[in-house]
Amino acid sequence: MSTTEDGAVEPQLPITTPPPGDRPTEPWTRRSSGQTGDSRRQDPHIPFALNTAAAWSWRLLFVLIMAGVIVWLSRPVSTILVGVAVAALLAGLLTPAVRWLRKHRIGSGWATAITEIGLIVVVLGLLTLVGQQLVSGFTDLSDQVVAGYHQLMDWLADGPLHVTVDQVDQAISSVTATIKDNSSQILAGAASFGSTAGNVGEGLVICLFTLIFFLLEGERIWLFLVGLAPKSARRAVNGAGRRGWHSLVSYTRIQVFVAFVDAVGIGLAAFFLRVPLAFPLAVLVFLSSFVPIIGALLSGAVAVLLALVANGPINAVLMLAAVLLVQQIESHLLQPLVMGKAVSLHPLAVVLAVAVGTTLLGIVGAVFAVPALAVLNTVIRYLAGRQWEQDDAIRTEPFRFDWEIAKARKKSLKQKAKEKLREEAHPEEQTA
């Protein structure tokens, strides 16, 4: 109760709570002035479902158009972008080695140099070994090809197909004539292959150069990019980017493991079945495993074809059985248990991503479609769940070990001492 100036008692109105529908909403959900009621009351002739579908449609259409524009604009610099993307994958794979060296009191510069030089040495060593195997294997392969050819002809003639030698000769003659008729196109393809080889060399140089800075100052570069975002969104961008990066790193490491298992399995099968060029075949399987679905089919086909040409149809059937066994182990054991924990993607999503990536960007799209989808899935889940609000692992400074912090502090103190001595030696510069 309250009283007025003349002493009269002023009645108080009862305090009531507004109903839920009349409570003020969040700023981003408030209706604009003059807007009353539900949005479907704005136009009674348009159903609410159609209105919502139309709103989503033009937004999705805009996103797809912008994505197409970005892809079209990036084609002239695709070599650079692919080099940077491969450098990012290698950085995620090699970062633990750099961290281990830094942990053992090796400077970041030396740790980066040792890691990248080690990578180059390993790759060159594998290529040298593969080249030696190819040179020594082709001599034996030529003799085996002749014997395998005769076995194949005998099987075609005596088997269920009943293909005669004349029919095979006609097929070979037809292929030869087709090659002669399209010689200009073949030469044009060879010329384009030469330009592609040049692009690969350029991309390799860009990849190695970019990898140095990703290993040396990767987190500093990322924090610089985060600083370009609006201040209110920096924490969310920082956390989402870090989660996406962890997803990419997990995918890369597990894919390397899966590719290694495939290469060892098919390589050992080829070795025990006496298929020539077993080691180069294992290397081919390892590299092709980074292309989901398509790579396994192509490498398996090469292995079976090599066994067919060199050792005959029975050996090819055994090689086919070994390839199918390895691929079944990968798809039913490694993929669900290992890959499923790293990237939570449905198999249908993987197939569609590879198909779309291959259609748009060829082999590059097939390689990067799945990791890009994994990163996008992680980022969307992180932002949709507002996980940055409870994420304590978000760093705003580059990670450093204790000895690196102490070294930097000692260097800063030395620099300050030098500046103080300089000021004491030249006081006239300060007064001026």
Please say whether the beta carbons of 280 and 295 come within 8 A. no
Kindly tell me if the per-residue pLDDT of 267 is higher than 60: yes
What's the CA gap between 158 and 160, in Å, rounded? 7
- pLDDT averaged over every residue in the chain: 76
Q: Which of 70-74, 188-192, 362-366 has the lowest mean pLDDT?
A: 188-192
The pLDDT, as a whole number, for residue 64 is: 81
Q: Which of 214, 270, 185 is nearest to 93 (CA)?
A: 214
Cα angle 292, 241, 200 (rounded to 5 degrees) comes to 45
**396-426 residue pLDDT tens:** 888 887 787 888 788 878 777 777 777 777 6
Q: What is the pLDDT of residue 53?
A: 82
3-state secondary structure (DSSP) of residue 351: helix
At 306, the pLDDT band (50, 70, 90 cuts) reads: confident
* For residue 25, pLDDT beyond 80: no
| pLDDT at site 371 | 86
DSSP lists the bridge partners of residue 10 as: 2
Pick the closest to residue 199 from 337, 29, 363, 58 (CA basis). Answer: 363
Q: What is the pLDDT of residue 172?
A: 62
Which residues share a beta bridge with 2? 10
Q: Which of 268, 283, 299, 315 is nearest to 145 (CA)?
A: 315
For residue 241 the two structure tokens come to 């980017």
Most confident of 114-123, 155-164, 323-332: 114-123
Whether the per-residue pLDDT at 305 is higher than 80: the answer is yes
What's the token pair of residue 288? 């092709």
pLDDT level of residue 117 (50, 70, 90 thresholds): very high
**pLDDT of the residue at 114:** 93
Distance CA 412, CA 407 (A): 9
Question: Tokens 């500093």 belong to which residue?
Answer: 220
Q: What is the pLDDT of residue 135?
A: 73
d(CA 222, CA 215): 12
Ranking 87-101, 127-141, 273-287 by mean pLDDT, the lowest is 127-141
Q: Answer whether 0.75 is exceeded by the pTM.
A: no
Averaged pLDDT for residues 160-182: 61
Instruction: Please name the helix (run of DSSP H) or strand (run of DSSP E) that holds residue 432, with its range, or none.
Output: none
For the record, the structure tokens of 233 come out as 């969104």
